[in-house]
Copies of this chain bind each other. A is one copy, B any other.
Amino acid sequence: MRTLYDLAGNDDSQRFSPYCFRVKWAMHIKQLDYQSELVRFTEKEKLAFSHQNMVPILRDGDAVICDSWAILQHLDTHYPETPRVFSANAASAAADNFIRHWCDKSLHPALFCMAAPHIYTKLAPKDQAYYRETREKRLGKTLEAVLADREIYFANLQRTVEVLRATFADQPFLAGEKPGLSDVLVISAFMWVDAVMPSPLFDADDAITQWGLRVKKAWAWPKA
C-alpha cells in the first residue's frame, strides 16, 4: 500500500503544503490509491524514519521517497503503464523545470505573504507557537503586521501572476491545449492558499480562476 505523509491543520481536512498537493495531483492523474498519514508542524518525530523532516514523503512498499519532485519521478518510473506526469519531450520537460523554479522563487513567496496570517488560524494549537516563531523570522515582521500590509502584498502577487493571465489569453493551459505538469505545479500553489483564505484571491471571472476550473474539469479532480 502507498502512504503519503501530508501536512494538516487543526482540522484533518485542512491540508496546506503545495508540494503535497503536487503529489496528490500526480496520484490522481495516475489513478493510484494511497492512504494519507497526517502530520502537524510539530510532529516531526513521525517523519524520523525518512531521515529528514519535510513532507511530502511517499512510502511505496519498501521504498521511502522524500521531496515532491523525486516522488513524481518515482511514480513515472515505477508505474509506466499509468499516464505520465513528466513530459516525454525533453524541451518541454526542461521548460516545466523552469516553471517549477518559478513557483519556488516567485509564486510561492508572493502567495505566502497573503496566506501566512490565515494559515496560523487553521493550525492545531500545539503548532501555532512554532509556526509564529519560524514564519515571523522568515517574513521579518509579525503575522499581524503581515496582515495589515495585505494590500502591498496583494499588489506584488498581482504583478507576479501577470505572466499567467497573459499566457491564458493565448492558450487554455500552461502546457497548451491540454493540461500538463506545469499546470499541476501552479494549481498546487493556489490550492495551498485557497484552502486558508477567508475569501477567494481572485474574482470568479478572473483568467486564473477560470483556468483553475478548466484544470480540475479536464482531470476530473474530485469535488470537496
Interface residues on A, range: 20 to 34
Contact string against B for A residues 143-156, beta-carbon threshold 8 Å, 1 for contact and 0 otherwise = 00000000000000
With CB as the reference atom, state the residue of chain B lying closest to A106: B163
Could you tell me if B175 and A102 are in contact, using CB atoms closer than 8 angstroms?
Answer: no
Q: Chain A's interface: helix, strand, loop or mixed, by majority?
A: helix
Contact A167 B98 (CB under 8 A): yes
Most chain B Cβ neighbours within 10 Å, of A91, A94, A177: A91
Pull 20 A–B residue pairs with CB atoms less than 8 Å apart, ordered by A: A87-B91, A87-B92, A89-B89, A89-B91, A90-B176, A91-B180, A94-B174, A94-B176, A95-B95, A95-B98, A95-B174, A97-B167, A98-B163, A98-B167, A101-B166, A104-B163, A105-B159, A105-B166, A106-B159, A106-B160
